[in-house]
Amino acid sequence: MGIDLAFIWAGLIAVAILAYVILDGFDLGIGILFPFLKGVRHRDQAMNTVAPVWDGNETWLVLGGGGLFAVFPLAYAIILPALYAPIIAMLIGLIFRGVAFEFRWRTNRWKTTWDMSFFLGSLTASFAQGVTLGALIQGIEVSGRAYAGGWWDWLTPFSLMCGVALVVGYGLLGATWLIMKTDGTLNSRAYHLSWFLAAGMALVMGIVSIWTPFLDPKFMQRWFSAPSIYYVSVVPVITFALFVALVLSLNAKRDGRPFLISLALFLISYIGLGISMYPFMIPPSITIWQAAAPDESLRFLLTGTVVLLPVIVIYTAYSYWVFRGKTRSGEGYH
C-alpha cells in the first residue's frame, strides 16, 4: 500500500493552522483586551509579554496559507474568490496592528491613538478569521472546479456568530496569558476579565456546537447516528470537563493552568471541527484527495518541509524558553 501524501499534507496544514490559532490567538487577544486594561502602564506591561514572540507566531500563518496554495491548489482557487472580503479584512487588520505595535512605543502624544489602532486591528483580524472559518464550515458552492457562488455568500448569521466566538476565544487566551505572564495589579485585572470571558466562551462554544450539525446532513449523521455517536460523544464530555477545570483553576489562582486549559479548549474545538468536516477540504463537495496537487509535487514539497518544519518548531520553542517567566511592570523588550 502506497503512502497517502494528500492525507499527510492535510495533517501538516491542519497542524500549522492550529499552531497559528493558539500562538497568535493570545497576542490578538491582548489587543482585543486593550480597552479593558487600566492605563498606559498596564498596556505597556501587557504588550511586553508578547513583544519577543508575536511576529514569530505569524510564521505559522504563512506556513498554513502557503502550504494550502502549494499542495491544495484547487482548494486555494475556490476558497479565495469565495472569501475575498473577510480574508482581505484579516490581512488589513494584521498589518494595521503590526504598525500600531511598533509605533506606540515611539510617541507619547499619539500613544492613545496607536493603542486604539492596535485594538481595532486585533479585533478586525480576529473577527475576520472567525467569519472565514464559519463561511468555510457552512459550505461553498462549487460548479465543476470553480467557485459558483456570489460575492456575499460568506455573510450569514452562522459566519458572523463564528466571528464573535473567535473574538471571545482569543480574548480568553489573552487574559489567561496575562495571568501566567504578569503579577501585581495587571494579574488581578486579568483574573477579573477571565471570569467574564470564560462564561462568554462557554456560551459561544455551545451555540456554534449546537448550530453546526444542522448546516449539513453529513454533519448531523456524523454527530448523532450510530455507531459514530459512540466515539464523537467523548468530545462534549471532554469540553465540559475542561470548562470545570478552567473554573477551578481560576478560583484557585493557579497562574499557569488557566492558559493551558484555554489552549486545550481550542484543541478540542479544532478536533470537533475536524470530525465534522473530514474528509472534505471544501464542504460539501471537494475532498482532500480531489483538491490535492499531483503526487510528484506533494512528494517534492514534503522533502523540503521535513527539513524546514523542525527548524521552525525548534526556533519557536527556544524563543519561548528564553523569554519564559513573568514580565514585571517597568521591565520590557522595547
Q: Mapping DSSP to helix (H, G, I), strand (E, B) and coil, where does residue 219 land?
A: helix
DSSP annotation of 152: T
CA-to-CA distance for 334 and 331, rounded, in angstroms? 9
Per-residue pLDDT of the chain (334 residues; tens, 9 = 90+): 567 899 999 998 888 888 888 888 998 999 999 999 988 889 999 999 988 888 888 778 877 777 777 888 898 889 989 999 999 999 999 998 989 988 888 888 888 899 999 999 999 999 999 999 999 999 999 988 888 888 899 999 999 999 999 999 999 999 999 999 998 899 999 999 999 999 999 999 999 999 999 998 888 988 888 888 888 999 999 999 999 999 999 999 888 899 999 999 999 999 999 998 888 888 888 899 998 888 888 888 888 888 888 888 898 899 889 888 888 776 666 5
Q: Which three cell numbers stand for residue 320?
A: 519561548
Q: What is the predicted pLDDT for the residue at 228? A: 85
- Are 156 and 135 in contact by the 8 Å Cβ rule? The answer is yes
Q: What is the predicted pLDDT for the residue at 333? A: 62
CA-to-CA distance for 225 and 222, rounded, in angstroms? 6
- Give the C-alpha distances (Å, rounded to integers) separating 198 from 37, 109, 281: 17, 35, 31
- Are 32 and 126 in contact by the 8 Å Cβ rule? The answer is yes
CA-to-CA distance for 194 and 179, rounded, in angstroms? 9
Closest CA to 246 of 200, 298, 295, 286: 200
Q: What is the predicted pLDDT for the residue at 334? A: 58
φ, ψ (nearest 5 deg) of residue 282? -130, 100
Q: What is the predicted pLDDT for the residue at 332? A: 65
CA-to-CA distance for 322 and 112, rounded, in angstroms? 31
Q: What is the predicted pLDDT for the residue at 263? A: 95
Q: What is the predicted pLDDT for the residue at 128? A: 96
